[in-house]
Structure 1
């Protein structure tokens, strides 16, 4: 049986940055929902899709998570609070820690790199299709470069 991707929305870095800043400023869930909805309105016209995108953005930066230590999440939030601009590495670290799909992509790349092996984007795609199946979400990943 294939794994589930659990991440199916197009996400802009500027959205990640803004949500990280709002979380670091201490906004609560209800306020975040409203702010993120307003931020996404010009880009995501469908209310249902906007809600799904909002939830993925907020869940990434939410400190409530069973899959990572609270201290790791708090470190990321504290780092954003101290800096002028959120570091992309923090977004990427949280994506890897909270979502197996991203962890599997990085694991494949890391294993190949560890042994000095070169690899193509097509090999990463093939590996992900083997793990997750040839679903619509995986097809979108395969088109994103």
Structure 2
């Protein structure tokens, strides 16, 4: 997928829920677009901001790339069965749709693994190193932090300072979706099983992906590489 910034608006959990509900109801793309326009208009008065917010929602859940269609279908089935799993499903879909969201989460996950707090100035400088300095990236970073706050993934401390919050993942289906997403991000050609439970992009979630779960699933392939068991997605 092309590297794009794209996340120019803060996104609320309930907006993502609404988008998924429309998909589950069997609405087509044009109907979803129309219904989101009406739904968002109660909160967003600016036509430009409404359009940008709607397009982000559509990109995350409707206009998905072919190579992640399996993940989307799995995530939708998870949303149908377990409403409590929607936070994980939305998170995974945002990671695979917006590389800048993935990079922000990776940086936050890495630093909060070492210390309790992080500052926005540090985060923005690290992102500038990856993406190049631009007003678009600066604006997007603020909106992503706003999204993370609305998700309950981070909380404000002092001005410009945050700490991460965590949620326990309780179902094997959620763990499977997390593993599928990690592999789809293509940060590595393969992962050792133990690595899957400590990926920084998944910083808000406490989970443990077991060898047994991967072995019993039809979604993953386990192989021996250099004397270690590694996991990939099945072709």
TM-score of Structure 1 vs Structure 2, range by shorter chain: 0.7 to 0.9
Please state how far the C-alpha of 1:100 moved relative to its aligned partner: 0.5
Could you tell me which residue of structure 2 aligns to residue 34 of structure 1? 34
The 3-state SS of whatever aligns with 2:70 is helix
Q: What is the distance in 1 between the residues matched to 2:51 and 2:85? A: 23
Equivalent residue, structure 1, for 2:107: 108
**Corresponding residue of 1:128:** 127
Larger RCO (alpha carbons 8 Å, 6+ apart): 1
Deviations 1:21-63 (A, max 9, x none): 1112221111101110010112222223222211111221116
Aligned to 1:59: 59
C-alpha deviation, 1:136, in angstroms: 4.4
Report what 1:94 is aligned to: 93
Correspondence 1:74-85 to 2 at 5 A: 74-84=73-83
**1:25/1:81 contact within 8 Å kept:** no
User: Residues 72 and 137 (structure 1 numbering): CA distance in 2 closer, same or farther, change over 3 Å?
Assistant: same
Partner of 1:117: 114
Instruction: Describe the superposition over 1:49-103 as per-residue Cα deviations: whole angstroms up to 9, x where unpaired.
Output: 222211111221116314x421101011111122345621111111111111011
Mapped partners of 2:50, 2:81: distance in 1: 29
Distance 1:110 1:49, change over 3 A: closer
RMSD value, Cα:
2.4
Q: Aligned with 1:120: secondary structure?
A: strand
For the Cα contact (< 8 Å) 2:96–2:102, is it kept in 1?
yes
Distance of 1:101 and 1:124 partners within structure 2: 12
- In structure 2, relative to structure 1, the CA distance for the partners of 1:40 and 1:86 (3 Å cut) is farther
Contact (CA 8 Å) 2:19, 2:36: kept in 1 or not? yes
Q: Structure 1: where are the runs of 5+ without partners?
A: none
Gap regions ≥5 residues in structure 2: 147-155, 157-235
Give the superposition deviation at 1:140.
5.5
Residue 89 to residue 69, structure 1, CA distance change in 2 (3 Å): same
